[in-house]
Amino acid sequence: MSNDLYHEQIIERAKRSDNNIRLENPDCSATVSNPLCGDRITVELKMEGDVIKAISGPVKGCVLCKASASILAEIAVGMKCDELKSMASDLGQALKSQADNNESFPKAYRMFYPVKKHKSRHSCVMLPLEGALKAISECKGHSGDK
């Protein structure tokens, strides 16, 4: 496990993220931004009932934000709204926790363990998840809180 913030796994992940694929006729979408650094991300979702069927959207952000968006794009499909919500909350908690290991991180996000000690960068990792949650909340008939 690397303590270097920009370890290979994150950089490779960020490079893999495809920024510009747009969904045709998404059921809902939301744009969120971080006024401090100008990161902006739009999340588009296709839903089937309470389940995410497809997710995409343009990401304008730093390496951490792009890597986080890329992971989300991969794991969100098939997830229920509530599952996404609790994963986002777990990740937020893990970033803030005092633990000196990555075990409290949701599995897919363990590579972000070194971000923990850089408080000002937590929001870079969280932004894609916030975007997805905002999209869900704006999705008529698929409100996360049934």
Partner 1 sequence: MAFDPGLAAVDFTILRSQAREEELHYLDNAAMALIPDCVINAMVEHDTLRRSNVKRGSHRLAEEATEAFEKARAAVADYLGVSDPDEVVFTGGATAGINILAHSLGLMFERNDEVLISQLEHHSNIIPWQVIQQRQGIKVRYLPVTPDGRINLERAEDMIKSRTRIVSVTHGSNVTGAITDARTLSGLVHDRGAFLILDGAQTAPGGPMDLPALGADFYVFSGHKVYGPTGVGILWGRKEILKNMPPALGGGEMIQDVGLEKSTFLDPPHRFEAGTPPVTQAIGLAAAVKWLAAKDVKGMRGHLRRLTLRIMEGLTQLSGGIKILGPETGMERIPLVSFCVEGLHPHDICQVMNDRHGVALRGGFHCAQPLHDFLKIDGTTRASLAIYNNDNDVDALLNGMEDCMKILG
- Positions that interact with partner 1 (CB under 8 A): 4-6, 11, 36-39, 60-64, 118, 121, 124
- Please name the amino acid found at residue 15: K
- Helix, strand or coil, per DSSP, at residue 35: coil
- 24: Cβ–Cβ under 8 A, 6 or more apart, which residues? none
Instruction: Of 83, 90, 135, 111, give the one whose Cα is nearest residue 14.
Output: 111
Radius of gyration of the chain (CA): 15
Smallest distance, Å, CB 59 to partner 1? 11
Smallest distance, Å, CB 65 to partner 1? 8
Nearer to partner 1, 18 or 82 (CB): 18
Smallest distance, Å, CB 61 to partner 1? 7
Nearer to partner 1, 35 or 141 (CB): 35
Smallest distance, Å, CB 6 to partner 1? 6
Residue 109, CA distances (Å) to 16, 46, 70, 140 in order:
15, 23, 11, 29
Distance of alpha carbon 113 from its chain centroid, rounded?
A: 15
Nearer to partner 1, 31 or 137 (CB): 31
Nearer to partner 1, 65 or 81 (CB): 65
Smallest distance, Å, CB 122 to partner 1? 12
Residue 92, CA distances (Å) to 68, 95, 129 in order:
13, 5, 10
Nearer to partner 1, 45 or 112 (CB): 112
